[in-house]
A and B are shown apart, each in its own frame.
Chain A
Amino acid sequence: MESLTSISSTALYTAFVLYLIATGFFGATIRDKRTTDGKSGITGTIAITLTIVGFIAQLVYFITRWIAGGHAPVSNMFEFVTFLGMSLVLAFIIIYFIYRLSVLGLFALPISLLIIAYASMFPSEVSPLVPSLQSNWLFIHVITVSLSQGVLAVSFVAGLIYLIIQVNQKERTKKTTWLEFILFSLIIALGFVIVTTTFNTMDYEATFELEENGNVIEKTYHLPAIAGPKGGTLISEDRMTPLFNAPEWMQGEDAPRKFNTLVWSILSGVILYGLIRLVLRKRIGAFIQPFLKNISPNLVDEITYRAVAIGFPLFTLGGLIFAAIWAQIAWDRFWGWDPKEVWALITWFFYAAFLHLRLSRGWHGEKSAWLAVIGFAIIMFNIIVVNLVLAGLHSYA
């Protein structure tokens, strides 16, 4: 068992590194003079091959972990989010072979890397299943949802590329600001990963003592506390004292700690973004735009739509139908207005609106691209905020 688990984590690590290298090759395709229209030459072939090998490595991770744990590894935040990253890579590979657009990889893989890195911030032990999770329908449900979200993430990637190509960067407008905001959000995610990894490798711990319902309890932070728990006294030595306290209205388990992590992420994101701007001396969008000038916006728009066309039915199946079947068997009701369920419904409504607007009201191109971005934001909200803050029955954390 031990060895299987370690094979599993090595495989995941390998996949991560391969995706990272593949990203570099996809980046090189842009400058590859032999390629036009962003399509692949030899560099592109190397890049996609590396991606596929990386995917196979991740598949090895998935299967060995499944065998070691005795259940499909999609049962806690770490496993679920990792699988989402893997789904995105799979969806990208499929779309790549339909459209052969290398630049897609340049954006899809880093996002997948961010997702996998984010996953690794959660406890990664093989965990036991509580009775309500002991169902094959759970696995069928989660795997399908995850695949659909991977495909929908590709629509986001394509939408983002479309916007970078098409938004006029000559002057600062609302559009350029929003586009920068999207890129900034990705940088925040990067900031989160960097900060957390740094302090994790340092084994940083700061413990607070506070009173809750008449009991003295301890809360441990793994990042220096910028925002401390209200009413808490720092008991670890040589640790930074909080600059302020987390707002009182934040309820729920470990809310102050999560808030502190958020503060750190935003702070590091701002610094990173500032540094990048300082080096580039222009908006990031404006910097990337010229590199993408050979790419047909219509093709990218088509990919946005195609990804939604694949992702939407898959999401309906996994996120609503299979979810309902599982809920019916596990909790005697197929629908219970649990926050997770509601947000699945919202996601579904949103993509239905996307399709209606596109088909019946001609929302193509840029409008469609903005919608694809919003759709992905909703998906991420469902995975991060709903899981960690609005916790319901499905809460993994």
Chain B
Amino acid sequence: MDKIKCECGHVNPEGTVLCESCGKPVAANQHIDGNDKSKLLNMRYEGSARRSQTYNRSIVDKTWNFFSSVKVGVMLIVIALIASGLGTIYPQEMYIPQEAENRDPAVFYEDWYGITGKIYYQLGFHDLYSSWWYMIVIALIGVSLVICSIDRFVPLRRALKMQKPKRHNTFLTRQRLFNETEKVSKAEKEALVAGLRKKRYKITEEDGNILAEKNRFSRWGPYVNHIGLIIILLAALLRTTPLLFLDDTVWVREGETKVIPSTEGEFYIENEKFVVEEYDFNDPEDAKFKDAIESRGTTVHKNYQTDAIIYEAKGKQVAGQEPELEEVTKGSIQMNKPLKFSGYTLYQSSYQENDFANMTFFVYKTDDEDRESLGEITIDLTDPKDEYELDNGIRLKINNYYADYELVNGEPRSVSNYPRNPAFVFNVFPPDSDESEISFVGIGKNIDATGENEYKLGIQGFNMLYASGLTVRRDYTLPFFIVGAAIFMIGVIQGMYWQHRRIWINPHNDGIILAAHTNKNWFGIKKDIEYAIKDTNIQMVIDQEELEEEKERERESKEG
């Protein structure tokens, strides 16, 4: 490496723009921060030697330089921004509305949105956020963040540690805030320093040269916040591993006990009861919502709730054998009130009302037009008995029970074990008789095989059973997101609400040169200086940038 030795004696690394110690511009490197074209020095990174600005030979250098450019960073952000917007034109795949006739994406988009929908689908925008190219854009932002931060952090830290109170004249005169006072007494100088101390500046003195500095830590804000962002991106990556992130669903019907999927048979859930509540404006508590509910014209749901018991399977698990269950916890799962146990969380996510809980049948004489009931029975569909006896002595024997009845190739079958379309073949025994008639009853079906039956069965009523849909989650990545977000916030606040302010006071003949720099909020530093010089005749610093702009404007208005 070609080190650069400054006239002040300090040896700077290759690529340095402003001497780390005295700030004198290194003649050969002034193009790097554009100092050659402007009156004022660019103080962004203290003129430190950044790798990206120094080497541009190998492919590694070129890649490094590409990603460490803020311009590229902003471009990536803008690309991500536009891409994200595209994904909201039509709903994403997972938000295809329930009422769509066909929810297959290949059909849905064209169906609903015509040709544009078809194109949307074909471009893969229906699942944009998990598309490879979107992920790549996000990953590139991450790469850019890391490289950009390293590129600047290391040399910046070096430069900020190195600085000396005595600065080169060129450095001082080319600061945005600068002025020279011809005659300054010792007392005035002391008053100035005292004023700055009062404003909480840290004072370093060397041979009469003074540096007043405060809030240097705020310079690290952006680096801190970018570390937070990187942690969040890494957490998102971790989330794709099942080890740290588990996501499943389970449907449990009321009264049912079921193994919780993805817990390796360790945990079971029993759904004691499922509750759906609606707002009722006749209830004094909800009366205040009367107008809103009436003007909406539909009912409004108030609560979905599963009263659940969680069990843990004890002892060795033997295939085909019911495990011994021990209660772990018990509670109700509501929206916004998930249930937690042993690292898992259960969320109320949906419900269905398509299973029958029980059915009530009544028996009447076939030739009775009024269908007068001779007696009733209620069958618990989750646990039907073999035989039922009516009050008047008629006995009903269940010959066959189809929980989910369907005719398959002309054969009656139950296509599932869930009572969604229950049907029965009964043997009906008249009182005191051993001879039975056969009757087939289901929803909308009532068949008398021989046509000679004396008794007939009718459906009196039924109750439906809720099935509760719960999401099972175990998410060990959450702490990473929380830490990342917290670090991001700390970094943003650190960098945004404090500013790194420096004021240099160097003696010059009988007077002093006063120059100042801040990384932002120039109003603030000007106020500090005004305060510190108020009882002296030290000249207020001049804002050379504003001066330039004013001249520019005057020139323009003369021409125009």
Given the known interface contacts A131-B334, A337-B129, A353-B74, the answer about A345 and B84 at a Cβ–Cβ threshold of 8 Å is yes
Tell me whether B186 is interfacial, beta carbon within 8 Å: no
B481 lies within 8 A of A334 (CB): yes
Tell me whether B542 is interfacial, beta carbon within 8 Å: no
Tell me whether B390 is interfacial, beta carbon within 8 Å: no
- Interface majority SS (helix, strand, loop, mixed), chain B: helix
Query: Which one of B299-307, B369-377, B450-458, B509-517 is at the A interface?
Result: B299-307
Q: Which residues of A contact B89 (CB under 8 A)?
A: 390
A356 lies within 8 A of B81 (CB): no
Q: Which residues of A contact B336 (CB under 8 A)?
A: 131-132, 134-135, 329-330
Tell me whether B560 is interfacial, beta carbon within 8 Å: yes
Number of A-B contacts (CB under 8 A): 133
Interface size on A, residues (CB 8 A): 56
Q: Which residues of B contact A211 (CB under 8 A)?
A: none
Q: Which residues of B contact A353 (CB under 8 A)?
A: 74, 77-78, 81
Given the known interface contacts A332-B349, A337-B92, the answer about A131 and B301 at a Cβ–Cβ threshold of 8 Å is yes
Q: Which residues of B contact A339 (CB under 8 A)?
A: 88, 91
A128: contacting residue among B74, B91, B279, CB under 8 A: B279
A316 lies within 8 A of B88 (CB): no
B489 lies within 8 A of A317 (CB): yes
Given the known interface contacts A70-B288, A317-B489, the answer about A131 and B78 at a Cβ–Cβ threshold of 8 Å is no
B87 lies within 8 A of A342 (CB): yes
B289 lies within 8 A of A126 (CB): yes
Tell me whether A349 is interfacial, beta carbon within 8 Å: yes
Report the contact-size class of chain B (Cβ under 8 Å from the partner).
Answer: 35 or more
Query: Which one of B263-271, B290-298, B418-426 is at the A interface?
Result: B290-298
A1 lies within 8 A of B288 (CB): yes
CB contact list, A307-332 vs B, under 8 A: 309, 312-313, 316-317, 320-321, 324, 328-332
Q: Which residues of B contact A317 (CB under 8 A)?
A: 489
Q: Which residues of B contact A357 (CB under 8 A)?
A: 74
CA distance A313 to B520 in the complex (A): 17
Beta-carbon nearest neighbor of A357 in chain B: B74
Q: Which residues of B contact A346 (CB under 8 A)?
A: 81, 84-85
CA distance A151 to B89 in the complex (A): 28
B488: contacting residue among A68, A134, A316, A334, CB under 8 A: A316
Given the known interface contacts A349-B81, A390-B88, the answer about A125 and B292 at a Cβ–Cβ threshold of 8 Å is yes
Tell me whether B95 is interfacial, beta carbon within 8 Å: yes
- Interface majority SS (helix, strand, loop, mixed), chain A: helix
A343 lies within 8 A of B70 (CB): no
A249: contacting residue among B114, B497, B520, CB under 8 A: B114
Interface string of B38-77 (1 = CB under 8 A from A): 0000001000000000000000000000000011011001
Closest-CB distance, A175 to chain B (whole angstroms): 14
CA distance A134 to B288 in the complex (A): 16
Tell me whether B531 is interfacial, beta carbon within 8 Å: no
Closest-CB distance, A42 to chain B (whole angstroms): 25
Apart from A123-B292, A305-B520: 20 A-B pairs, beta carbons within 8 A: A1-B288, A5-B288, A123-B295, A125-B292, A128-B302, A131-B302, A131-B335, A249-B113, A302-B523, A309-B496, A312-B492, A331-B349, A334-B478, A349-B78, A349-B81, A353-B78, A356-B73, A359-B520, A386-B88, A390-B89
13 sample A-B contacts, Cβ–Cβ < 8 Å, listed by A number: A5-B288, A126-B288, A127-B296, A128-B286, A130-B300, A170-B560, A316-B488, A337-B94, A342-B129, A346-B81, A349-B78, A350-B81, A390-B89
Interface residues, chain B, with chain A CB atoms under 8 Å away:
44, 70-71, 73-74, 77-78, 80-81, 84-85, 87-89, 91-92, 94-95, 112-114, 116, 129, 279, 286-289, 291-293, 295-296, 300-304, 334-338, 345, 347-349, 471, 473, 478, 481, 485, 488-489, 492-493, 496-497, 520-521, 523, 546, 560
Interface residues, chain A, with chain B CB atoms under 8 Å away:
1, 5, 68-70, 123, 125-128, 130-132, 134-135, 168, 170, 249, 251, 298, 302, 305, 309, 312-313, 316-317, 320-321, 324, 328-332, 334, 336-339, 342-343, 345-346, 349-350, 352-353, 356-357, 359-361, 386, 390, 392
Q: Which 8 A-B residue pairings sit nearest by Cβ, starting from the closest?
A: A332-B347, A125-B292, A131-B335, A127-B292, A125-B291, A360-B70, A128-B289, A339-B88
